[in-house]
Amino acid sequence: MASFEESLALLSSIKSAESEADLTALVETHSALLFRVAHSLLRSPAEAEDVVQDTFLRVLQRPSALPAIRDTRVWLVRITWNLALDRLRRRKSRPTDSVFIDSLIAPGLPADRSLDERRHMLAALDEIERLPKLERQTLLLSSIDELDTAEIAAITGRSPAAVRGLLFRARTRLRARLEKAGYR
C-alpha cells in the first residue's frame, strides 16, 4: 500500500487541472459506494478505507485509461471488489465480527434487544460465510442497494440471468438455514 506522501506525489503528477477535477469528482461521487463494497467483504472500516484509497491510487496511476471506460461506476466497484478479495485472501485469520455487528445494531436499543439482534446477525453472518463462493459474493454485492443485477453481472463476469439465479439460490438457502436454526 502506498503512503500518504506517495499518494500526494501521484496526485501532483497529474498534469492538467481538468484531470484533477475529474479525479476529485470521481472520489466525491463514488467513494461512499466503494467503501460499502469493501466493508461488506472486509467488515473492517479501516481496511475498507485502505481499499478505497488503493482503488483511487490505481486510477491515478493510469489517468489516460479513464476516458476509455464505458461505465466508470462498475469499473471502480470491480477494482474495489478485487482489491478487497485480495486482502481477504492474504489474511491469516478472520477478525472478530463483533465490531462489524456493533456497527449494524441501532444505538440506544435496550440491552436484551441489542443482545438478541447481535445473536441474529451473528447467525446470519455465519450462514452467509457458509454459502458457496459465487452465491456469497453475489449476495454481498446485491445487498449494496446501489448495485443492480446488470452491474453485478459486469463486476462478476456473469450474465444477468446467472446473477438472478445465484441470488435466488443464495437467498433461498440462507432463509432455509436460518429458519432451521430458529431465526426468522
Q: Residue 46 and residue 92: Cα distance in Å, rounded?
A: 17
What is the pLDDT at residue 174? 93
Per DSSP, the residues of 8-21 read: HHHHHT---HHHHH
Q: Residue 162 and residue 122: Cα distance in Å, rounded?
A: 28
Q: Residue 39 and residue 92: Cα distance in Å, rounded?
A: 18
The answer to whether position 35 is within a domain reads: yes
Q: Residue 12 and residue 121: Cα distance in Å, rounded?
A: 44
The answer to whether position 10 is within a domain reads: yes
The answer to whether position 77 is within a domain reads: yes
Backbone φ and ψ of 62, nearest 5°: -135, 60
| CA angle at 53 for the pair 98 and 101, rounded to the nearest 5° | 10
**Pick from 139, 123, 136, 132: nearest CA to 177:** 123
- At 126, the amino acid letter reads D
The answer to whether position 84 is within a domain reads: yes
pLDDT in tens, 27-61: 899 999 999 999 988 888 999 999 999 999 988 88
Q: Residue 3 and residue 103: Cα distance in Å, rounded?
A: 27
The answer to whether position 112 is within a domain reads: no
Q: Please state the pTM of the whole predicted model.
A: 0.67
Domain region containing 2: 1-93
CATH number of domain containing 44:
1.10.1740.10
Find the DSSP H helices in 43-159.
45-61, 72-90, 98-104, 111-130, 133-142, 149-156
The answer to whether position 40 is within a domain reads: yes
> Could you list the pLDDT tens digit for every one of the 184 residues in the chain?
454 455 545 555 544 444 555 778 888 999 999 999 999 888 889 999 999 999 999 888 877 777 778 888 899 999 999 999 999 888 755 555 667 777 778 888 898 888 888 888 888 888 888 999 899 989 989 986 578 999 999 988 999 999 999 999 999 999 999 999 888 6
Give 23's contacts (C-beta < 8 A, 6+ positions apart): 11, 14, 56, 59, 60, 63
Q: How many domains does the chain have?
A: 1
The answer to whether position 68 is within a domain reads: yes
